[in-house]
Each structure stands twice: as C-alpha cells, then as structure tokens.
Amino acid sequence: MSKPRYSDHSATRLDMPSSYMDKQFARESDSTQLALQKSTTLYVGNLSFYTTEEQIMELFSKCGEVKRIVMGLDRFTRTPCGFCFVEYYTREDALDCMKYINQTKLDERIIRTDLDPGFKDGRQYGRGRSGGQVRDEFRDDFDPGRGGYGRRVDR
C-alpha cells in the first residue's frame, strides 16, 4: 500500500515540532530540517527563573536517561532566565517527552517543550535586549516566577 497523502491517524500526534518550530526552521537548510527529524534535544520553555537543574532532571528523566541539561541564562547576569535544553540519548525518549511531559507542570508552572534541531554554543543565552528572553520584555502581567513585571528596556 502506498503512503497516503494525509496523516491517517485518528487524532493529532503530540510528538511533532510545534508550528513555531516549523516556522522558525522552514527556510533553514535541509541539514537543519534533517537535524530536527533526528534530534534528541528538546527546548523547554516557561520555566521559573528559580527552577533548578535537579528539578528538571527529576521530571525529565521520567521519560528516559537525560544526557545533559543546558540551562538558559541571562546574557548579562548569567543567571537562569526561564528556559533550558534537555538532551536525551535516544530519539524515542525525546518524542515520549513531547507526548507525556509537554504542557504539564514543573515547579507549578505549565512548561512547554518543543523538538529542537540541537544545542549550539551561544543558544544558551537570552536573546532579549535586557539579556533575558524576548517574551519577558513584552509581558504586562506580574509573574513572580519570572522576575516580576516584564522588563521593557526600551522605555
């Protein structure tokens, strides 16, 4: 039987890269695309600034042995700024993590995981002008886990 044009699963698969990743990497080279298909690394977002590597390890090793965790740091202060990369030894564990851990809570925050083409040096730093993540600069709410109010440096 030939491969059908459409996914014929009876429900959406949760172990796919998010539309954000799709957009981010749609114009990238084939090698990046391939990396995304084979990658064992996940981007993890919406962490509290205070969540430790040990806590992340405790939750993420429920899906398999974790090879390494790279904490996302503020570019200037070198303190955690609410994201990290988790690398597994196998692709299967990474996909299971998308299915079972994504959108559940860690440190009482709903975290977001996404398949990532792989960690490269430099990506551990926030890309916002304040040094942290960009999303924290466009926030109006008070989020005690992420340094209070958003930090709009341009004001």
Question: Which residues contact another protein (rule: CB under 8 A)?
Answer: 1-2, 4-6, 8-15, 50, 52-55, 57-59, 62-64, 68-71, 96, 99-101, 104-108
Distance CA 48, CA 139 (A): 15
Q: Which residues pair with 125 in a beta bridge?
A: 73
Distance CA 46, CA 105 (A): 10
CB of 145 to another protein, least distance (A): 12
Minimum CB separation from another protein for residue 14, in Å? Answer: 5
Q: Which is nearer to another protein, 108 or 140 (CB)?
A: 108
| Residue number, 21 or 57, with CB nearest to another protein | 57
Instruction: Characterize 99-132 residue by residue with b for buried, 16 or more Cβ atoms within 10 angstroms of its Cβ, and e for exposed.
Output: eebbeeebeeeebbbbbbbebeeeebbbebebbb
Q: How far is the CB of 70 from another protein (least distance, A)?
A: 8
Closest CA to 21 of 47, 41, 2, 1: 41
How far is Cα 55 from Cα 125, in angstroms, rounded to an integer?
20
Output 80 or 150, the one with its CB closest to another protein. 80
* Nearest CB to another protein, comparing residues 79 and 129: 79
| Minimum distance, C-beta of residue 12 to another protein, in the bound complex (Å) | 6
